[in-house]
Structure 1
Amino acid sequence: MPEGHILHRLARLHQQHYAGAAVRVSSPQGRFSEGAVLVDGRVLTHAEAWGKHLFHHYETGAVVHVHLGIYGEFTESALPLGQPVGQVRMRMIGVSHGSDLRGPAACDVLGPHEVEAIEARLGPDPLRTDADPDRAWSRISKSRTAIGSLLMNQAVIAGVGNVYRAEVLFRHGIGPQRPGKDLSRSEFDALWADLVELMRIGMERGRMHVVRPEHDHGAPAYAKDRPRTYVYRRAGDPCRVCGTPVLHSVMQARNLFWCPGCQPG
Structure 2
Amino acid sequence: MPEGHSVHRIARQFDRNFVGKTLQASSPQGRFVEGASVLDGRQAVSVKAVGKQMFLETEGDIWLRVHLGLYGAWDFAGEVLLDPTIASANGRMGQTNQRGADLDAGAETPILDDAGENSLSSIGAPRRTRVHVRMSEQTKGLADEDMPWPPPVVGQVRLRLMTDITAADLRGPTACVLQTPDEMLASVAKLGPDPLVGDPAQNEARFVHTVGKKGTAIALLLMDQSVVSGIGNVYRAEMLYRARLNPHTPGKAVPVEIVRELWHDWARLLPIGVETGQMMTMDDLSADDYRAAMASRDDRHWVYHRAGLPCRTCGTQIVLEELGARKLYWCPKCQA
Same fold (TM over 0.5): yes
Q: Give SS of 1:108's match.
A: strand
Aligned partner of 1:77 in structure 2 is 77
Given that 1:18 and 1:95 are in contact with CA atoms closer than 8 Å, whether structure 2 keeps it comes out as no
Distance 2:41 2:276 in 1: 32
Q: Name the CA shift for 1:214/1:85 in 2 (closer, same or farther; >3 Å).
A: closer
Contact conserved, 1:50 with 1:159, CA < 8 A, in 2?
A: yes
CA contact (8 A) 1:63 1:111 kept: yes
Cα RMSD for the two superposed structures: 1.9
Asked if residue 188 in structure 1 is aligned to residue 259 in structure 2, the reply is yes
Query: Structure 2 CA distance, aligned partners of 1:123 and 1:139?
Result: 9
Q: CA separation in 2, counterparts of 1:106 and 1:224?
A: 31
Find the partner of 2:316 among 241, 244, 252.
244
Other-structure match for 1:232: 304
What is residue 176 of structure 2 aligned with on the other side?
107
Asked if the contact 1:235–1:246 (Cα under 8 Å) also holds between the matched residues in 2, the reply is yes
**How many percent identity over aligned positions?**
44
Deviates more, 1:8-17 or 1:115-124: 115-124
Q: Secondary structure at the match of 2:240?
A: helix
Which position in structure 2 is the counterpart of 1:122?
191
- Distance in 2 (CA, whole Å) between partners of 1:29 and 1:225 is 34
By how many angstroms is 1:225 displaced?
A: 4.0
User: What amino acid is the match of 1:52?
Assistant: K
The alpha carbon displacement at 1:129 in A equals 3.6
Deviation at 1:257, TM superposition (A): 0.7
Amino acid in the other structure paired with 2:257? S
Alignment partners' CA distance in 1, 2:229 and 2:311 = 28
Which 5+ residue runs of structure 1 have no aligned equivalent?
none
**Counterpart residue number, 1:17:** 17
User: How many angstroms apart in 2 are the aligned matches of 1:7 and 1:100?
Assistant: 15
Secondary structure of the structure 2 residue equivalent to 1:213: coil
Structure 1 match to 2:37? 37
**Aligned twin of 1:257:** 329
Equivalent in the alignment of 2:58 = 58
Does the CA-based 8 Å contact 2:77-2:151 persist in structure 1?
A: no
Deviation at 1:127, TM superposition (A): 2.3
Higher relative contact order (CA 8 A, sep 6+): 2
Query: Counterparts of 1:12 and 1:213 in 2: how far apart (Å)?
Result: 28
Paired with 2:33 and 2:179, the residues of 1 have a C-alpha distance of 14
1:113 deviates by 1.4
> What TM-score, normalized to structure 2?
0.74
Match of 2:246 in 1: 175
Q: Matches of 1:112 and 1:136 in 2, distance apart?
A: 25
- How far did residue 22 of structure 1 move? 0.8
Match of 2:130 in 1: none
Q: CA deviation at 1:260?
A: 1.2
Residue of structure 1 in register with 2:156 after alignment: 87
CA distance in 2: counterparts of 1:95 and 1:262, whole angstroms: 54
Letter in 1 for 2:262: L
Mark the runs of 5 or more structure 2 residues left unpaired by the alignment. Answer: 80-148
Distance of 1:154 and 1:30 partners within structure 2: 30
Q: Give the residue type in structure 2 aligned to 1:120.
A: A
What is the alpha-carbon distance in structure 2 between the residues aligned to residue 42 and residue 214 of structure 1? 47
Deviation of the 1:213 alpha carbon = 3.1
